[in-house]
Amino acid sequence: MSYRFALIGCGRIGSRHATQIASRGKLLAVCDIDPSRADQLASQYGAASYRSFTDLLHQHQVDVVSICTPNGLHAPHAIQALEAGCHVLCEKPMSLSTASGQLMAETARKTGKKLFVVKQNRYNPPVLVLKELLQQNKLGQILGFQLNCFWNRPPSYFANSWHGTADLDGGVLFTQFSHFIDLLYWLLGETTVVSGFRQNTLHQGSIQFEDSGAAILQLSNGARGTLQYSINSHGSNMEGSITVFGSKGTVKVGGQYLNELEHFSVEGMQRPDLPAGNGANNYGHYQGSMSNHDKVYDQLIAALQDPKQQLLEAEEALHTIRLIEHIYQSSPLIP
């Protein structure tokens, strides 16, 4: 079956989605409040161009809507698409609050449509190795962990943009590092926040929240670990990593984008040879997480065709939103 798609949000990430859609289905229509961006993408893929999402949904019957708008608009756009009878693939983060995320999930249940969320770092080869080790209990009792997110986003990144605003961006844990928080839950399960702090040292006047922070987190078995994050790495992104300490092994998945197996010491096992992963998303003057949208769309098609196939859905994605909220609530912003 060839699926019919619409796309809302024609920026850099929207263009990346359009490429994947065109190779797997038909992109019927695109929408953006910037007419030039919508027209350019529409012309490239032979799609209709809209400024109004309501008009798009009224005039086109589509199977899936891909949502690539600013973070704070994900919830209303997803709900509108679901109520119009469409499945939804929503870019990260799913929403900026647990309440709005729950409303999205409830709308999906009521309409009988699927609400998927993009979390492409789950497909990184070393991340998959760590996931399998944990599933097979190869690391033994989990004793602790460390999650590091050290990237570069200069003040110029936030200039004349929705980035940096509380209502549309939400904070660096939502925009830059929600993939990392998702992996923490996916790999280690439910996590609670013990304490934390946030501060804004280099982006005064550029953003309405912190540019760095840290938190102590606790797993359900009582083991504790740390989260450290910053967008103040000088010149370029430095590190995105997770280290898991177990009674039978220690593994660090690192590199800039959780794309390298930096340390592997597991009882009775040899270090595995891994296939090369995709490169990072390149947005010109900065880079983001690994470019695994091809795998996301492959799994999207598989999940729509076969209920036994799984792609991250709303209920699971809510764990990430809930944990980010708890981190912020437990981490005072230090002047």
Give the residue from 79, 104, 119 where a domain finishes: 119
- Same domain as 154, residue 101: no
- Same domain as 115, residue 139: no
- Same domain as 95, residue 190: no
- Same domain as 276, residue 148: yes
When pLDDT is cut at 50, 70 and 90, the band that residue 219 belongs to is very high
pLDDT at 1: 76
109-151: pLDDT as tens digits? 999 999 999 999 999 999 999 999 999 999 999 999 999 999 9
Measure the CA–CA gap between 145 and 76, rounded to whole angstroms: 36
Give the residue from 119, 137, 171 where a domain finishes: 119
Q: What angle do CA 232, 238, 243 make, to 5 degrees?
A: 110
pLDDT at 131: 98
Percent of the chain with pLDDT over 90: 93
Residue 71, domain member (yes or no): yes
- Same domain as 258, residue 154: yes
pLDDT at 307: 86
Domain of residue 77, CATH code: 3.40.50.720
Rounded to two decimals, what is the model's pTM?
0.94
- Same domain as 169, residue 109: no
The per-residue pLDDT of the chain, averaged, comes to 95
- Same domain as 330, residue 222: yes
pLDDT at 280: 53
Residues contacting 74, CB < 8 A, separation 6+: 67, 90, 91, 93, 94, 95, 96, 104
Is pLDDT at 288 greater than 60 in this prediction?
A: no
Give the residue from 119, 139, 174 where a domain finishes: 119
Q: What angle do CA 277, 14, 295 make, to 5 degrees?
A: 30
- Same domain as 190, residue 264: yes
When pLDDT is cut at 50, 70 and 90, the band that residue 279 belongs to is low
- Same domain as 146, residue 109: no
Domain hosting residue 236, numbered range: 121-290+314-334
Average pLDDT over residues 8-36: 97
170-181: pLDDT as tens digits? 999 999 999 999
- Same domain as 66, residue 146: no
Fill in the amino acid letter for 207: I
